[in-house]
Structure 1
Amino acid sequence: MTTQPTTAPEPWRDANADPGERVRTLLSRMTLREKLAQLYGVWVGIDSGGEMAPHQHEFVDPALDFDDLVRHGIGQLTRVFGTRPVDPVIGARSLARTQRQIVAGSRFGIPAVVHEECLTGLAAWQATIYPAPLSWGATFDPDLVRRMATRIGLTMRGLGVHQGLAPVLDVARDLRWGRVEETIGEDPYLVGTIGSAYVAGLESAGIVATLKHFVGYSASRAGRNLAPVSAGPREIADVLLPPFELALRAGARSVMNAYTDTDGVPSAADATLLTGLLRDTYGFDGTVVAAYFSVAFLHRLHGVAADRGDAAGQALTAGIDVELPTMDCYGEPLLAAVEGGGGGGGRAAAP
């Protein structure tokens, strides 16, 4: 009697192996382009519907070839359910087909992380809508908020979503700021306590909670969106940072940077903030994702980067792991910068 030889699975597919070793083995076999592909999101349908992010329609790429992108892999899929009205069953089936395409089309079969907005419930057609965060703060009831977030998370997980872009932990004290309705309140302890409850609920359902916006977004000058932050070190430490510290202890696995700059340094390029404080001081070991288009804004709005490749290098070196919502800087511009020796010095892009 003869037996067919069995082929041992690739080491990174062995669920019983050490996760760190699995990652190291996989990375050692990936090309630079394949590594970079894991560092950006892809937004199919960015040009459909209304404005969901600042300057959204300036980033439409008519030449985007999804089939070609799949060959190298895709890090994240942006707002599969939230971009346009889609029946949840049809949307889930479509997402499953897309994930199969991504897995089958690349060498290593890495599926994409799917993220959605979920502050007042999954931002999608037919999903349950919950009260705004200002109402959460008014309840003074962390357990109620935790139970609400758990339900939101279970809805998302059932559809194949992995990451939620919430909660908003910006302490709002200037009512002129246009995103006050997304905030929990003006007291840092209240914001941190209620926000941590939301994090605990979302994470308990297996969804990655994303803390935003790190840090100072709501303290922009004259309450203008994207304006510089007018806050000194003491106000930042006493008012703006405590909610993030509390929510990180609650188990949040992702953080999103602020659009603003503080003392002339944009958050997206601030290594002191995103690495020195967040990782070295707070001990955060999760994923830092870019506020939508904030990497490109280093070149287009802040004017601190010479071009998109330079913007990518600054953001990656500062500590932004994933460019969202779609590839603009971490794709070809970063590839060219790394190959030319001019950028991409961050830990995640090292070949």
Structure 2
Amino acid sequence: MWTLPAVPAIGLDSLVMSDGPIGVRGRRWTADDPSIALPSPTALAATWDPGLARRTGHLLAAEAHRKGVHVLLAPTVNLHRSPLGGRHFECYSEDPLLSGLIGAGYVAGVQEGGIATTVKHFVANDAETDRFTVDNRVEERTLRELYLRPFEIIVERAAPWGVMAAYNSVNGTTMSEHAALQNGVLRGEWGFDGFIVSDWMAARDTVGAIRGGLDVAMPGPRTVYGPALAAAVREGRVEEELVDAAVLRVLRVAARTGALTGTDPVVAPADRPPVVDAAGLAREVARRSLVLLTNRTVPGGPAGADRPALPLEPAALSRLAVSGVAARDARVLGGGSATVFPERVVSPLDGLRAALPEGTVLWTPGADPNEEPQVAGEGFALRAVCRDADGAELGGDRLPNGQVQWMGDFPEGVAPEHLATVEVTGTFTPRTSGAHGFGTRGLGGFRLEVAGEVLYDGVEQPGSDDAFEAFFGGPRERGTVELTKGEEVTVSLRYTVPPLEAMPFPVVGFALTHREPVRPAEELIAEAVEAARGADAAVVVVATTERVESEGFDRTSLELPGRQNDLVEAVAAVNPRTVVVVNAGSPVEMPWRDRVAAVLLGWFGGQEIGSALAEVLLGAEEPGGRLPTTWPARLTDAPVTGVVPTDGELHYGEGVFIGYRAWDRRPDGPAPAFPFGHGLGYTGWEYEELTVLDDTAIVRVRNTGDRPGRETVQLYAAPDDRGAGDTELPVRRLVGFATVTARPGETVQAVIDLDDRAFELWDAAAGGWRAPGTGWTLHAGRSVADLRLAAPARS
């Protein structure tokens, strides 16, 4: 599933691949083998710091070595074309330059640790609907200026050792067979010398794939290569030289990563970056990614003075009301192949309670974003037991939660061909009394028993054409049991394994699910209101769920699930110091944003989010993040929303106008809730001077506040003449950025390098880049909507 076979005769070890991008899962997809869980890619992009991305790469390389992995299946650099993209939490930005530079930092860091990356998904894999079959129709200029551009930047600046071909087609050709883009552009024009691996099960045709430039078809062992490729060569349908070239590229990545005897790895063990404090780096990325969207002045600060709502003053907090189920059970990562299993998670509630005196923080659930049962977690002690058809035990696994995910690699002693049933068995100690719901997730036969009572004995049939969605989705509640807080009960879920030989690879995936007793929503909200009414401040944590943001499907709405909006409105009505923390990987609607004291965007903040959040809320650190994508006030305001194909085709009819480029194009239309690049800090900045010297822009800024701070200086180029028709230029485009730090009153300079591409467009007729024949003005500022300085660009 995750490996290439060893060839001992030539000294080739088995090449091991593993999903990222926020951690290294390893060969086995199981919670019994924990991994560091960094913040989501949208969070990393929100730092606007390629150097920090590089440092995360160093950490991930160390993790890969620890787990015996040679190739990390990351980063994902597809663009946020529409806010409905279900997998946008795993991508960086709506802007190709920001995506490319963050991605280049990530790739450089991982490969400096001697581990290969595979930049994905090449190319135009920007939505999930019908992702296996959709034909994305993208005109050439749009493809070059937007969707290919992040890959080009990464190849140019970081020389990745691998690229992953996407599932989708582009302009009629499936990407795993797209010779024009893989051989012509990627290898021919850009000089990429690494290997191209298919997305899992994306390779469909032997001859088309090898001629299209695909080197590795995953997963094995039954693929379009192997015996099928050998037969195609023998029959004269494929030239042997094509196979030689693919073999050479696989051997090259093996040599680079130390998996080929007789060659030295590119990075010797002694030259790898030093191992860092993993939890500390995860916490640093989390706090640097936090975006302060609003921070209003509220009465009643120290000595009665009005002051911004954040940071909170720890000494002035005798009671802090915290509400939202997500405050206790934070969502720290997105769903799908990006999933890893951290050894620990610090929730917002954990972080605040650790930072404040005991008894200061009062938590109420308020509202639960989960409208379905969740994978069994807190209070469960579980083990998986594997048996053959005669009931004999073959082996098993300890399960830190109720999820079983074995893809290709199974527990020791368990041969897939002999596996008949898997039983998740153990105990549950409830945190609350009442009617607890229990259920299943996955496809196949189940028998569920809790406290001696059989709740379900039946078969769950497929309900989706997407095998990935069928594998991960569809929790079903099977019954309830009255339980008492603190009293342990037994649980058992027996799963009948379908015939594995009929599958392209052996896979077992299912889960025991659980739901705490349901209380009326109005009662929960009223309880939160009473807690907030007399508190010095209130923090409400709202979140999306895995059924809202995940791989395998797109979103249909930007609304927060459940009664979370009602909770915010009710708490804010009784406490003027209400701070809302948004636990989401991509945009959500916030109809209450102008009626709360502050809004802080926490993304999917990784395993240390609670500690980072406490540091920022209480003022030990400042929020360092800036939006890497535009947040609309309402879905209906967004310029581009189409993600559903028509007759198998999805037309990118908006051309180069996505994200802020599209919002700028319609000045009389609705404004976004928060523009691209937006983010507040805890100090003030004055932009003093912009100087342009040849290929460099220098921006002088001064910290005008009373505390140290970090500023993200953004540089945009605006054409004096935008042109029209096929050569119409955006009102402005991001051409560079830099982060600087300064003490109170200190003046510092941001130095931003420019390249020719910043002032060019793709000429499809000429087949190349050209200057559009207009002058340019450079604008420096804090966001695309807050530009402070201007100067003519070089001619």
Q: TM-score when scaled to structure 2?
A: 0.29
Residues 278, 346 of structure 1: CA spacing in aligned structure 2 closer, same or farther, 3 A cutoff? farther
Establish whether residue 119 from structure 1 lines up as the match of residue 21 from structure 2.
yes
| 2: CA distance, partners of 1:260 / 1:139 | 30
1:348 Cα deviation from its structure 2 partner: 2.5
Counterpart in the other structure of 2:484: none
State the AA in 1 paired with 2:209. A
Q: Deviations over 1:37-79 (max 9, x none)?
A: xxxxxx27xxxxxxxxxxxxxxxxxxxxxxxxxxxxxx726xx
1:247 pairs with one of 137, 146, 154? 154
Q: Which amino acid in 2 is paired with 1:334?
A: L
Match of 2:80 in 1: 172
Number of the residue aligned with 2:512 = none
Match in the other structure for 1:32: none
Aligned residue in 2 for 1:90: none
Residue 95 of structure 2 corresponds to residue 197 of structure 1? no
Find the residue that maps to 1:294 and give its secondary structure: coil
Alignment of 1:250-329 (within 5 A): 250-296=158-204, 311-327=205-221, 328-329=223-224
Structure 1 position 336 matched with structure 2 position 231: yes
The 8 Å contact of residues 219 and 230 in structure 1, kept in 2 or not, is answered as: no
Cα root mean square deviation, aligned: 2.1
Greater Cα shift, 329-338 or 231-240:
329-338
Deviation at 1:158, TM superposition (A): 2.8
SS at match of 2:135: coil
Deviations 1:182-219 (A, max 9, x none): 10010111101111110011011101011111111116
Q: CA deviation at 1:107?
A: 2.9
Counterparts of 1:120 and 1:341 in 2: how far apart (Å)? 44
CA distance in 2, matches of 1:108, 1:252: 25
Other structure's SS at 2:137 match: coil
Aligned counterparts of 2:127 and 2:180: Cα–Cα separation in 1 = 19
Aligned AA (2:150) = P
Shift of 1:224: 4.6
Kept after mapping to 2: 8 A contact 1:165/1:209: yes
Please identify which structure carries the higher helix content. 1
**Which one-letter code corresponds to 2:138 in the other structure?**
A
Shift of 1:230: 3.1
> Secondary structure of the equivalent of 1:202?
helix
Shift of 1:160: 2.1
1:232 and 1:195 mapped to 2: Cα distance? 24
**Which one has the largest radius of gyration?**
2
Does 2:11 align with 1:109?
A: yes
CA offset digits 1:228-277 (Å, max 9, x no partner): 21321111111111111111121211111111111111111111111011
Residues 263-321 of structure 1 deviation map (CA, whole Å, 9 limit, x = unaligned):
1111111111110111110011111111111112xxxxxxxxxxxxxx11111111111
- Could you list the runs of 5+ residues in structure 1 that have no partner in the other structure? 1-42, 45-74, 78-101, 297-310
Q: CA deviation at 1:346?
A: 5.7
Structure 1 residues 219, 239: CA separation in 2 closer, same or farther (over 3 Å shift)? farther
Distance in 1 of aligned mates of 2:185 and 2:10: 34
Aligned equivalent of 2:123, options 215, 221, 228: 215
User: CA separation in 2, counterparts of 1:267 and 1:345?
Assistant: 22
Question: How far apart are the structure 2 equivalents of 1:292 and 1:346?
Answer: 25
Cα separation, 2, equivalents of 1:229 and 1:145: 30
2:131 alignment counterpart: 225
How many residue pairs match? The answer is 237
Of 275-284 and 333-342, more deviation after overlay is shown by 333-342
More strand by share: 2
Runs (5+) with no aligned partner, structure 2 = 27-32, 248-795
Partner SS state of residue 159, structure 2 = coil
Q: Does 1:76 align with 2:4?
A: yes
Q: 1:295·1:315 contact (CA, 8 Å) conserved in 2?
A: yes
Residues 126-154 of structure 1: per-residue CA shift (max 9 Å, x gap): 11100000101111121111111110111
